[in-house]
Every structure is written in C-alpha cells, then in structure tokens.
Amino acid sequence: MMLSQPELKSSMAGWCVAMRAAAPELNELDGRLGDADLGATLEKCAVLIEQELGSLPDDLEGAFKKLAQACARASGSSFGTLLTVAFMTAAKYSRNKTSLSRQDIVDLLNTVIETLSARGGASLGDKTVLDGLQAIYVALQTSADEGCLLPLARDAVQRALDEFRGKPNRIGRARMFAERTVGMDDPGMVALLRMVEGICVKRDVLG
C-alpha cells in the first residue's frame, strides 16, 4: 500500500482524462453561482500535466513539483491556485522519500487541508473542497480496511456531498447567495469526486 513515482504517474493519467470529461459538468455547476470556469480551469491543468507525464522526474518531490508548475501555468483562478499549492505541499512532504505509505498519505492530507485553509481562507464546514478532503482524511485514518484506498476515498467524498447538499456555502462568491446554495452541490467537492473516480477508473494505484 505504497505510492511511488510510477503509481503517481499512472494515477495522474487517469486524473487528466477525468478532468477533461468532467469539464462541461463542472462549468455548469460553477456557472450557477460563480464564474463558470472551474471545468475550463481543470481541463487546462489536465492538458498541461499530460504534456509533462512523459518526462516527470523519477523522485516524488520532483514529480509533484512538476505537477504544481503545470497547474500554475494553466490558470490564475482560485481553484487552480489551490491545486498548485496542494501539489507543492505534496512535493515538500515527499522530500527524500521514494514512496508514501498509507500513514504518509493520511498525514499529507492533513497537511494539505491545513495549508489550503490558510491560503484560501476557508474553514471546515464552509461547504468547499476542504470538506471533501477532510472526509477522505477521516475515512483513511479510521478505516481498518487494508485494501485499496481509492474506493474509501470515493465513498467518503460522496458522503460529504450528501451531507453538505442541504447546507449553504459560507465562503467565496457563493456566500453572497447563501440560501440559494442550499440543495446544491459545491462544484469544488464535485470536482474532487471526479478526480478520485478518474484515478479509480485508470488503475487502483493505492491497492
């Protein structure tokens, strides 16, 4: 149950396919209360990451850094920035590591959540992608299942979506329409679900 550079490369190939496929859905969701560019942003990230997959550095730190740089070139949007920060956080965490264990992944998730919260200003409970990441963190931290981590992650994000659907968004542009967001899925959380699903379809890389 380890994540090394080859598994990361394979997982990102599936991630890219999923982001291109989900772009129209994410644009539509984002357009209800935002700028309607979430799908376009992630599609640009996917295109640039795909261009780098054949030449990713052999070490995890270098590979994550290359992914961060690709996302930084893709867009100046808030979600693109958060994705860049997440990959850079993973790069720093992976320094001098040849692979990440399950506990490493759990610890990294916690670090990413804290870093993104500090960078973007969102808190847990605000109905953002952070709540989806927190759901994955809790699931991986508490589950005794020794099998593939991806189904656990996918189910955790889906539960978070179900839990927060009836709550208002509390940050970002959507907070201006807080009551209108009740009954809606947060686009960032949906994007996270599509990311995990894409990795699952490509390969159970964390099994």
DSSP 71-102: HHHH--SHHHHHHHHHHHHHHHHTTT-SEE-H
Cβ distance 193 to 200 under 8 Å? no
Identity of the residue numbered 94: S
> Which domains are present in the chain?
3-202 (1.25.40.340)
List, for residues 41-90, the tens digit of each pLDDT value. Answer: 999 999 999 999 999 999 999 999 999 999 999 876 889 999 999 999 99
- C-alpha 29/C-alpha 39 separation (Å) is 9
pTM: 0.92
Query: Where does the pLDDT of residue 207 fall: very low under 50, low under 70, confident under 90, or very high at 90 and above?
Result: very low
